[in-house]
Chain A
Amino acid sequence: MGSKIISIGYGNVKKVELGATLPLVFFGGPCAIETKDHALFMADAIGEICQNLNVPWVYKSCYDKDCRSAPDSFHGTGIDEGLKILANVRDEFGIPVMSDFSDASWAAATGEVCDMVQVPAYLCRQTSILRAAAETGRPVHLKKGQYMSPWNMKNSVRKLEAYGCDSIILADRGTFLGYSMLVNDMTSFPIMQKTGYPVCFDATHSIQLPTSMGNISGGQREFIPYLVRAAAGCGINALFMEVHDNPKAALSDANTVLDLKYLENVLHQAKIVHETRLELLDKFGEGNVHPE
């Protein structure tokens, strides 16, 4: 299915393009920025894997985790320190970086450093957040709220467009907020692609069991490869996974992040399924079985 081509990266970083039939792109990194050294270590390790697999990628890590279940959970480095670290990653490795922002007043600073800004799933309908994201002038990674149908994401897309943004990537991270369980509807990808924009699958948040452990969220990491293969087969343009070298010690989302040692395995599978799907499309076409 056709979609716009989105270009991520300004200045001297290696630009990443995704959409239509371009190669699968990876968005990844630790859920939260922990320290500068850890961020640089992770960028180096993930970069090596992506280089081996020839997968274009964007480093993702957040400076403020405003949706933690408990008040004493790690909240993040804060915007000033976090953006400095992201700028370090960018300069050191020449790769595009991304962070989300949970407060409209943080958007401008986030967009000044980051090559792409992310709208958190919880906030995907908030006009003030969408407006602030659009006004950064950067591509926007728009997560589908766990409470949103894929077709209703069009309303959020229209808000972004109304404020001047025409570089959008829509992501699914599971549905059914509030019952400590998420379900992935794979039809969400072709439905969201109907907006004309590329789509992304957030694998590590999809296996989350929100607040299933009382004051923290659990997760079923063993299902990551299953869901990744399914999503790649359904036409995603990008794959999002939070990765950590020591998940048990991760300061955020310890129960859902992918262990770094499995990244190459999962990413390789995603790439193969993505390429196989394109071959099948060439051979059989798409949208010609029970077309609307």
Chain B
Amino acid sequence: MFIRNKNVGDVMLDLGRFPVVTEDIILKEALEKMDKFRLGVACVVSSNNQLLGIITDGDIRRKLLTMQKPLVAFFIDDAINQSIKTPVIVTSSMGLIDAIEIMENQQVWDLPVVDNGELVGLLHLHSATKALLLG
């Protein structure tokens, strides 16, 4: 399949292959999950898998540099409180090239893939570039 014919859904990471946490999880647990998957992003979802926000390494790094409270208080805060509530998202039917352009324009490595409000996957820059290289 030519790259121009590929959609986000063809190369995205499916559920179970990237960190997804529920809204009652504390930040420490979300970071541990990100570490386990070796990805710099975690998606926060409701009980019916609606995307509520995302947490990224970069956002946490910036917060650590400006935070005025003890680290333990930061760790124990609800992950949802420390998430970006309106992340840039794509759908699984979006063309891969268009999604990569969004990554370039927004300077992001990861795009949650949301169909009808429900989180279905994650487009990661590595899998997107791999698809590009393989043509």
Contact = CB atoms under 8 A, between A and B. Distances in A.
Contacts of A191: 73
Main secondary structure of the interface of A (DSSP, over half): loop
> Do most interface residues of chain B lie in helix, strand or loop, or is the interface mixed?
mixed
B76 A151 contact: yes
B26 A149 contact: no
A292 B81 contact: yes
A44 to B, nearest CB: 44
B67 to A, nearest CB: 10
B99 to A, nearest CB: 31
A262 B120 CA distance: 62
A154 interface: yes
Interface in A244-288: none
A151 B81 contact: no
A155 interface: yes
Nearest to B82: A292
A155 B81 contact: no
Contacts of B76: 151-152, 154-155
B48 to A, nearest CB: 20
A283 to B, nearest CB: 26
B81 A152 contact: no
B134 interface: no
B81 A149 contact: no
A192 to B, nearest CB: 12
User: Which interface class (under 10, 10 to 19, 20 to 34, 35 or more) fits B?
Assistant: under 10
A292 B72 CA distance: 16
B96 to A, nearest CB: 36
Contacts of B77: 151, 194
A151 B72 contact: yes
Nearest to B73: A151
Contacts of A151: 70, 72-73, 76-77
B77 to A, nearest CB: 8
Interface string A122-165: 00000000000000000000000000010110110000000000
A152 B26 contact: no
Contacts of A292: 81
Contacts of A149: 70, 72-73
Contacts of A194: 77-78
A14 to B, nearest CB: 34
Interface string B59-102: 00000000000101100111001000000000000000000000
Nearest to A191: B73
Interface of A: 149, 151-152, 154-155, 191, 194, 292
Given A149-B70, A149-B73, A151-B77, 14 more contacts: A149-B72, A151-B70, A151-B72, A151-B73, A151-B76, A152-B72, A152-B76, A154-B26, A154-B76, A155-B76, A191-B73, A194-B77, A194-B78, A292-B81
17 contacts: A149-B70, A149-B72, A149-B73, A151-B70, A151-B72, A151-B73, A151-B76, A151-B77, A152-B72, A152-B76, A154-B26, A154-B76, A155-B76, A191-B73, A194-B77, A194-B78, A292-B81
- 8 closest A-B pairs by beta carbon, nearest first, are A151-B73, A151-B76, A154-B76, A152-B76, A151-B72, A152-B72, A292-B81, A149-B72
